[in-house]
Structure 1
Amino acid sequence: MPIVTIQVTREGTASDRQSVTAEEKAALIKGVSELLLNVLHKPLASTFVVIEEVDTENWGWGGLPVLEYRQKLAAMPEN
C-alpha cells in the first residue's frame, strides 16, 4: 500500500489565489496514482495520496525563515 505525500507551498500558484485548487489536487492525485500503477504496478485502489499545503511561515531555507532568506538574496549584488 503506497502512501505518497506531496507538499506544496501556498504561493506562486496564481496571482489571484493563495492555495491549490480542488481540480489541481485531483490532477495531482490522479497523476501520482497512475505513475505508481504504470511503474510499480500498484493498484489504484491501494494507493493513497496526501497533499499538504505549507504556508511560507512554516518553512525555511538556508537556515532562515524563507521570507527572510529571499530578502537576503534580493539584497545581494548580482555577479
Structure 2
Amino acid sequence: MPLVEISIAEGRTEEQLRDLMGRVHTAIEEWGAPGQSVRVLVREVPPALWLSGGVTLAEKAAAK
C-alpha cells in the first residue's frame, strides 16, 4: 500500500489541497499502484514552525 506524506505550509484552500491530493493519487496510480491502495496524507504546518535557512516562513513573509 503506497503512502505519500506531504508537509506543506498552511495557507492553501481546501480546494487547492484536494487538487494536490488528487494529482498525487493519480501519479501513483500511473506509476502502477492499484488506486484503492494509494494513501495520500497532507500535513499543514504553521509558517512560524517551518524553518529554512535559519528563518521561519512567517519571518520571511513579514520581511517582504
Shorter-chain TM band: 0.7 to 0.9
Q: Over aligned residue pairs, what C-alpha RMSD do you find?
A: 1.7
Equivalence for 1:13: none
The structure, 1 or 2, with the larger RCO (C-alpha pairs under 8 Å, 6+ apart) is 2
Identical counterparts, % of pairs: 26
Equivalence for 1:38: 30
- Could you list the runs of 4 or more consecutive aligned residues of structure 1 that deviate by over 3 angstroms after TM superposition? none
Q: Give the TM-score normalised by structure 1.
A: 0.64
Distance, in Å, in 1 between the alignment partners of 2:52 and 2:37 is: 34
**1:8 partner amino acid:** I
Task: Give the match's secondary structure for 2:44.
Answer: strand
- Structure holding more strand per residue: 2
Per the alignment, do residues 51 and 62 of structure 1 end up closer, same or farther by CA in structure 2, a change over 3 Å counting? same
| 1:8 paired to 2:19 | no
Q: Which runs of 5+ in 2 are unaligned?
A: none
Distance, in Å, in 1 between the alignment partners of 2:35 and 2:50 is: 31
